[in-house]
Amino acid sequence: MTWIALLSTVVGAMVGLGSALLSDGLRWKRERNDRRLSVQREIYVAYLSALHRASQSLRAVSLGDHSEDVPRNLAARAAMRDAGLVETREHLVLTAPERVVRAADAAFQSLRVLRDRIAHGQGMGSPEYEADLSSYNLHLQVLRNAVRDDLQVSSLRSEIAL
């Protein structure tokens, strides 16, 4: 009779310990995922914000809002550089899944096309500029939805204009 009591105590202790370890493991995994999503969200916000700063600065250059001492092509390049886009892009490339990196690169490349268009003297109102701006907006929308998907948020059905 004493062996049965001892055996049931050992089995009970093993079940309790096992459930505690399982519970801790699940909590650790959930917290790790929450931390990952938080870090990714910060990186995504930084990248999208840098894209926005660059886009707004390029728009200003296209309207002639830059120092007269600086040629338009240099002002357009400075607009991209000063936005901190390359640095935040590197953070994203190092941490994001490939589909987000591809969408981010497509948005970056389309903004560079827009920059080059502005650098060559075309601006708001020209058909080429408007086509490049539309392309950038499309790539930006794809990027936003890729980011939302990675952050486990449903995609946007409507387009958010620049």
Work out the percent of the chain whose per-residue pLDDT is above 90: 57
- Of 105 and 72, more confident: 105
DSSP structural state of residue 158: S
Give the integer Cα–Cα distance in Å for 43 and 24. Answer: 29
pTM of the model: 0.78
The stretch 21-37 carries a mean pLDDT of 73
Q: Which of 40, 42, 50 is nearest to 100 (CA)?
A: 40
Chain length of the chain? 162
- Residue 21 confidence (pLDDT): 66
- Angle of helix 127-150 relative to helix 2-62, nearest 10 degrees, comes to 170
| Closest CA relative to residue 107, chosen from 63, 23, 44, 59 | 44
Place of tokens 């994001």: 96
User: Concatenated DSSP letters for 109-122?
Assistant: HHHHHHHHHHHTT-
The string of pLDDT tens digits covering residues 137-160 is: 999 999 999 999 999 887 766 667
Closest Cα partner for 75 from 111, 116, 119, 114? 119
Decide if pLDDT at 98 tops 80. Answer: yes
Q: Contact 118/129 with Cβ under 8 angstroms?
A: yes
Q: Return the exposure string of 121-135: e unless at least 16 CB atoms fall within 10 Å of the residue's CB, then b.
A: ebbeeeeebeebbeb
Domains defined for the chain, CATH in brackets: 36-150 (1.20.120)
